[in-house]
Structure 1
Amino acid sequence: MRTDCENIEKLDDQIKRLIDDMFETMAAANGVGLAAPQIGKSLNLFCVDVTGWEDEEDMPLTDTVTKRVFINPEIVELSGEPVKFKEGCLSLPGINEDVEREQSVTIRFLDENFDEQTETFSGIMARAIQHEYDHIHGKLFADYLTPLRKSLLKSKLAKMSKGIHTAKYRCKNQ
C-alpha cells in the first residue's frame, strides 16, 4: 500500500468483477470508499459510496452523486478552505483522527464504462475522493497526523502491523 499503482489499460470482465467486489466489500465493512491497493491490487482504481451521509452535520452531502467508480484518476484541482474532519480508514480499523482536506476536488477519471469524465465534487464526496486517491499513491490518512498524534497511536499501529486489531472484517494481515 505504500507504492504508486498501475493504470488500467482496458475494461474487461475481470475489472468489472473487481469493481463489484469492491463495492460489496466496502458495504460489508460500513466504509464509504475502497481503493484497489487496500485489497492487494496495485491498480489505479477506487470506489466511493457516500449514500447515507445526507444527515451528517459535520460533513454534509453536497453533491447529488453519491456512488462512483474512479479508474486511472488524476486530481486536476483542489480548492476551498481546508476543513478538519474526523477521518477513519478500513485499513486502520479503530483509528479516527482529525485530518484537514480541501472542500472541493476536480478530478479527471474513467468511469465504470471506461468513459472519460472530469467533474468537481465537494463535501463528503470530495473528502472521500481525496482519501482514496491517496491510497493509490501510497499514502494513508495517518500520514497527515502530527508527530505527537502519531506517537500517541504508535502502539495501536504496531499491533495492526502484526494483524492485531478490532475490525469486524477480515484484514490483509490476517
Structure 2
Amino acid sequence: MIKPITIYGNPVLRKECVNIDETYPSIREVIETMWQTLRNADGCGLAAPQINLPIKLFVVNSRDSYAYMSARERERFFAKDDCGIEETFINAEITACSDEVWTTGEGCLSIPDLYEEVTRPWSITIKYQDKEFNEQVKVYYGYTARIIQHEFEHTEGKLYIDHLSPFRKQLLRNKLTRILKGKINASYPTQKSY
C-alpha cells in the first residue's frame, strides 16, 4: 500500500519518535508500506513520520542511486567497494561520527521543490535492529551515511533544513511558506500539514 507523504508543517515531522518492538501492530505491513511508498516517490530514504507514524523506523536505498551514477560520481559519493544498501533501520542510534565531513546537495520528500547544500560527517557508526529485529552495529560511509543521518534525524524530530544558516533560512522563507500553504509540485501523493 502506498501512503501519502507528510509535508513540511505537519506536527508529526517535529515529534521525537518512540522505540518499538516486534509486537508493534502490523509491523511487517508497515515496513512493506514504507518500501512501496519510497519506491513510488522515487526516493532514497523514508522515515516513519513521513507516513504519519511517530516511531523509530526508517528505510534506506542507496543501491539504486549507485546504479544510476557515473564512475566519477561513485568515486565522490561512495567509499571504495561500497555499492549501496537496501536496509530497514529500527530503533536506530548513531553512536559515532567521523571528524571528516563533506558538503553536497540534499533534498527531502517532505519538503518538495527544495534542494540545499548540507555538511555532514563522511562516516557513521550506527546501532539498530533490522527488519527481523536482529541487533546490528555497522559503519557506513559517504552517500549511504548521509541518507542514514537524514532519515535518523526524522526520527528525532529534525529536518535537514535545520542545518542551514539563519541567513540561508531567511532566503528560503518564501519557498517554505508556499510549501506550508500546500503549493507544491510533487509527483507522489502528499498529506498537507493541516
> Is 1:48–2:56 an aligned residue pair?
no
Q: Distance in 1 between matches of 2:25 and 2:128?
A: 19
Deviation at 1:60, TM superposition (A): 2.9
Where 2:26 maps in the other structure, the secondary structure is: helix
Q: Distance in 2 between matches of 1:161 and 1:61?
A: 37
Paired-residue identity, %:
40
Q: Distance in 1 between matches of 2:192 and 2:134?
A: 35
Q: Distance in 2 between matches of 1:43 and 1:167?
A: 24
> Is 1:24–2:36 an aligned residue pair?
yes
With normalisation by structure 1, the TM-score equals 0.94
Deviation at 1:53, TM superposition (A): 2.3
- Tell me which moved more, 118-127 or 6-15: 6-15
- Gaps spanning 5+ residues in structure 2: where? 1-12
Deviation at 1:11, TM superposition (A): 5.0
Where 1:52 maps in the other structure, the secondary structure is: helix
- Gaps spanning 5+ residues in structure 1: where? none
Q: 1:131 aligns with which of 150, 161, 176?
A: 150
Q: Distance in 2 between matches of 1:65 and 1:112?
A: 18
Which residues of 2 match residues 62-141 of structure 1 at below 5 A?
A: 62=80, 63-141=82-160
> Is 1:15–2:27 an aligned residue pair?
yes
Deviation at 1:101, TM superposition (A): 0.4
Is the CA contact 2:102–2:122 (under 8 Å) kept in the aligned structure 1? yes
With normalisation by structure 2, the TM-score equals 0.85
CA RMSD, aligned part only? 1.6
